Structure formats: structure tokens, C-alpha cells
Structure 1
Amino acid sequence: MRIRMGKVYWALASGLLLMSCREEAPEPLPSESAAATPVPPETPAIVSGARDVREETDDFLFEYSYPVEAGRIPALAAMLDARLERERTSLARQSAEAREDAGDDGFPFNKYSTGVEWQVVADTPRFLSLSASLSSYSGGAHGNYGFDSLVWDREADAALEPVAMFTSLAALEEVLGEDLCDMLNVERATRRGEPIEPGSDDMFDQCVPLSDTTILLGSTNGRAFNRIGVQMGPYVAGPYAESAYEFTLPVTRAVMDTVKEDYRSAFAPRN
């Protein structure tokens, strides 16, 4: 699991960005919901392709889910299931080792946890854009949280990182960077109750490069990507107490110029 301290880690506020980035569509019917009643891992909840697994032992709590749209694509479901098994195996091993170490050192053991929740950001004819909220706890003062994302290409039957659809991260940053930095500083000032000091050398007053963020591709019409979401986990744009920062920017003509030719038809400008 990529808990990115630049590209990482579980979004308490991820629902806000998903609502702004995802296509405008009615809520799914109850029978199509990705959520399901928690059950033991040996009988995971599977509803029309959705999966929702919850396992709790003396050592750990493990939660992992993905929506029906992902479950209905066999290769994508297989990939997400493989990640599920890796995450669970890693958590079980690490928590068992931590419990043993705590006993040897005479310290109390705090149960570990891992959470991964995949959600649909946009579903277009060729692509399914997904975002993941991630969380983890490994016995410290508090847990960590952050993000992940992917785009599934139905034609290629393969997963892509959103940035792979652009000519380069640098080209996209040249177009989005200034606007994103301005938006970030306005939100920082709102949360802190004071403007950013000009010329400050505080690391939490600086612009954040796209390489330290998670990028989402969204759509308002279900036909083409016309929004770009940018998520910044804790410690990326501010201290942990400021929580995550999330922004949505339109796909403009300038952004279109940074999209690779093979994917140009999947995007549309939204000014």
C-alpha cells in the first residue's frame, strides 16, 4: 500500500473531492452498492462484483473494499484482489512481529490496522477512474492516512497511473502549478487564520510539486475526462493537524496540449 508522504495516505475529506470530480449521476441503487455487511475474510461480501472484506483478530484490523464497477471487470478485480492479499499478509506479519517484540520488551501491544477503500471517480466508455482512501496504524501516537488512484483502460485491459496519460508530469505541472499553488495558499490561510508570509522558508508555506500528490481524473458527463483532482496527504502541504488538502481543476485547452495523442479523445476541455 502506498501511503504517500508525498503521494500518500488516507483521506478524511476524500468524499468532498470525489463529489467534485466524479460524473454527475444519481446514487446507485441499494443492490448496486459497493458497501456490504462486514463478514469474516473466508466469506468476503461479493455483491454484483463489489467486494467488502473485514477481518479483525487480536493482532490487527483489516478492511478492504472496491465497488461493483471494478468487480465487473475480471482483470481489474483480479488485480485488486491480489493487492488485497498482499496487504493482509503484510499486516498479519508485521502485527505478529510487533506483538512479539512488545512482549519481549515488556511494553503493551496496540493492535495494528490497515484500511483500503476504492471508489469510482469517473466511468467513461473506455476508462474507469478510481480513487482509494488509505489508512494505517502501527502502534504510534496516531495512525496515517492518504490516497491512491488508477485508471483502467478497457481497450488495453490494463491499469494506468493517471499521470501516464500525459506527455510528462513536468508538462502538466507547468500548466497547473501556478493555479494549484494559489489555491493551496488560499486554503492554508483559511485554515490557519492568517495569510502565508511572503518569502517564508517554512516547508509548509511552499508550493507542492505534483510528484508529491495523488492525481485523479474526473468527469461531469460520463463521456470524457474534464476535471483533474489533486490530493495532498498530511505532512505534504501542512502539519498533520491541518489534515489533507484536496483540489479540483478543469481540463483546459492548455491541459489538452499535455495529453498524449493516444488518449486525446478521452479528454475534453471544461473552461
Structure 2
Amino acid sequence: MLLVSCGQEGENGSQPGDPAATATASPGATATAVASESPVNGARTVAEETDDFRLEYSYPAEAGNIQELAALLDRRLDRLRNAMVGDSAEARADARDNGFPFNKYSTEVEWQVVADTPRYLSLSAKISSYTGGAHGNYGFDALVWDKERAAALEPETFFTTPEALEAALGSKLCEKLNRERAERRGQPIAEGSSDIFDVCVPLSDTTVLFGSASGRAFDRVGVQIGPYVAGPYAEGSYEFTFDVDDKLLTALRDEYRSAFTTRN
């Protein structure tokens, strides 16, 4: 069971004039249904299905109306689709050679706006995938678009070091996580437990988001934790929101501190 990530390449937007990547049929896959919705006010939704896979991918108008960002997201779509073509065809061949049924692969990626400030557009994505097995899996992704520099940034790069982010938020996350774990499980987490689903989850194993109540500066930090990270699959994902405080401001790199404010 493989969860496909559509981020983590750390790339900037395309240069003006770069063509947007498009999802086109490949000779290796037989299409049983193909549907592609043209952008609506900048938003784009693509849905495609072949004998081997089903793919859905979307992003909002706020992203689509920024040429370089739309091109970046389209390139990610193109890479994702190409990977699905190859992986699903290989899985079908393996199933045929070993005499067991092939289950069609699927991936859904939905980008949404978390915050839109004068300089930055904060986006999050939920990624769901199925590659055979008892059930699929899902997880999260995030990026922050710097409108002045025309560049995509990982939220973690706003902080001086991963350790600084952990020191500013780690203990609060652990407290909230254990309270939620206890509520879902019907019993408190045993103090000192070393069980993998009882220990604190480092920020490096989560998806960090930036939100804004005012629309002027980031004043909230969201943390998303996918299945199998803090608990078994049946327990689901965990999502928490924290107000920006002085400790978080101190952990930020100097060049990004003005983009944040404490929440009153």
C-alpha cells in the first residue's frame, strides 16, 4: 500500500511562458473513461480513468490564477499520472504472471486554500490512494507560495531549524495528541509507554500548515498527522490548530517573522 506524495520536490514556479503540463493518454494504458474539466475562473479539476487506474486532481482558483503556481501544480499532476501509468501496469503484469486478481489503482489529490495574505498563499492537500490490499491510505501535503519571489516554499523552511520548531510546538502537540488519543481509545495513555502509537510524534513526521484569521498575516499553525503515524489505521488521522505565540515567533527565520503575528 503506497501513498503517493505530490510534493517534496522543493521547486520554484515555472518561468513565464512555460507551458503547463497536461495529462494525455499514454500508449501503455487503455482508457475506459477520460474526463478533464477546463479551468473555471482559474480552478482546475482533472479526472481520468483507464483499465489500470483512476486519477482525480484539483486545485482552487486562487492557485490557478497565479501562472507560475498553476504550472507547478500541473507539472506535479503530470509526474503523478506518469508514475501511476507505470506502477499500475507493472502491478497488472505481476498479478497476471502470478495468477491473482488485479485491483485498479487510484489516487485523489485535492488542493485547498488555508490562507491568502498579501504576500503568501498557503495551500494544503489531502492525498488518498489505493494500490491493492485490504484498504487504501491517505495523507497530507502543504506548500506556501511566495507571491513576491514566485516560489513554492515548504512550511518548515520558515523556521530557523527543525529543532527550533520542535522546541516551540512539540510539547503542546504531544499534550493535545495524547488527550485526543485517550478520548478515541477510551483510556489514558500510559505514562512512559514506549509503544509506537503512544509516544509523542515529532513535527518532522507531520504536515505543518499556516492559517490566518485576519487575512493579513499568519496567526495560526495547523498540524496534520496521517494514519499509522500516531495510531492504527482504524483510529484515523489527527488534526490540531495552535495560535501563534511569542515562542513560535522566536523560532522563525528573521526574513519571515513579519509574515506572522500573535493571535489576540
TM-score, length-scaled by structure 2: 0.87
Count of residue pairs brought into register by the alignment: 237
The structure-2 alpha-carbon separation of the partners of 1:212 and 1:3, relative to structure 1 and needing over 3 Å to count, comes to farther
Confirm or deny that 1:164 pairs with 2:157. Answer: yes
2:143 matched to 1:150?
A: yes
- Aligned residue number for residue 245 of structure 2: 252
- The Cα offsets for residues 174-218 of structure 1, whole Å up to 9 and x where unpaired, read as 011111100000000000000011121211110000010000000
Partner of 2:88: 95
* Counterpart residue type for residue 101 of structure 1: D
Query: 2:57 is aligned with what amino acid?
Result: Y
State the AA in 2 paired with 1:122: A
Alpha carbons 1:40, 1:53 under 8 Å: kept: no
Q: Name the aligned partner's letter for residue 176 of structure 1.
A: L
Corresponding residue for 1:116? 109
CA drift of 1:2 comes to 2.1
> RMSD of the TM alignment (CA)?
1.5
Residue 229 of structure 1 corresponds to 222
By relative contact order (CA 8 Å, sep 6+), the higher-ranking structure is 1
SS at match of 1:205: coil
SS for the counterpart of 2:251 is coil
* Deviation for aligned residue 1:3: 7.8
Following the alignment from structure 1 to structure 2, what is the Cα–Cα distance between the partners of residues 88 and 259?
36
Contact between 2:51 and 2:104, CA under 8 Å: does it hold in 1? yes
Task: Sort the Cα spacing of 1:190 and 1:3 in 2 relative to 1 into closer, same or farther, 3 A.
Answer: farther
What is the CA deviation profile of residues 58-106 of structure 1, one whole-angstrom value per residue up to 9, with x for unaligned ones? 1111000000000000110000000000001111111111111111111
1:2 aligned to 2:5? yes
Q: Where does structure 1 lack aligned partners over 5 or more consecutive residues?
A: 8-38
Identity %: 63
Residue 199 of structure 1 corresponds to 192
Q: Which amino acid aligns with 1:147?
A: F
Mapped to 2, the partners of 1:242 and 1:234 lie a distance apart of: 7
Q: Give the equivalent residue in structure 1 for 2:60.
A: 67
Q: Secondary structure at the match of 2:190?
A: coil
Question: Does 1:141 find its partner at 2:144?
Answer: no
Is the 8 Å Cα contact of residues 152 and 159 (structure 1) preserved in structure 2?
yes
- Partners of 1:40 and 1:168 in 2: CA distance: 44
1:215-245 CA deviation, whole Å, 9 max, x = no partner? 0000011000000000111111011110001
Q: In the TM superposition, what whole-angstrom CA distance separates every residue of 1:118-157 from its partner, at most 9, and x where no partner exists? A: 0000000000000000011111111110000000000110
2:30 alignment partner in structure 1 = none
Secondary structure of the residue aligned to 1:44 is strand
Shifted more, 233-242 versus 98-107: the winner is: 98-107
Gaps of 5+ in 2: 9-32
